[in-house]
Amino acid sequence: MNINIEDKKVQIIMELTEDELLNITPATVTRIIKEAGTRLYRSRNKRLWISDRFRAGNHWNSTFNGIELIKGKLYVSLYVQYSNTDTDRSETFSEFFSRGDYRGAIRYDDKYGNPHTDYYTYSPSDKARALRSLLLTYVQRKYKSYYDKKKAEQENAG
- Give per-residue pLDDT as tens, 32-72: 999 999 998 888 899 999 988 888 988 888 999 999 999 99
Backbone angles phi, psi at 70, to 5 degrees: -120, 120
- Give per-residue pLDDT as tens, 73-105: 999 999 999 877 888 999 999 999 999 999 999
Number of H helices, E strands in the chain: 6, 8
Distance CA 44, CA 26 (A): 18
Higher pLDDT, 138 or 60: 138
Q: Average pLDDT, whole number, for the chain? A: 88
Going by pLDDT thresholds of 50, 70 and 90, the confidence category of residue 2 is low
Looking at the 3D structure of the chain, how many domains does it have? 1
State mean pLDDT over 22-27: 95
Cα–Cα distances in angstroms (integers) from residue 115 to residues 65, 78, 106, 118, in the given order: 27, 22, 11, 10
Q: Using the predicted structure, report yes or no on whether residue 150 has a pLDDT greater than 90.
A: no
Structural domain harbouring 77? 3-157
**Contact indicator for 12, 57 with CB cutoff of 8 Å:** no
State mean pLDDT over 15-24: 95
Distance CA 76, CA 134 (A): 11
Higher pLDDT, 123 or 41: 123
pLDDT of residue 89: 92
Higher pLDDT, 147 or 89: 89
Cα–Cα distances in angstroms (integers) from residue 78 to residues 61, 98, 127, in the given order: 10, 16, 12
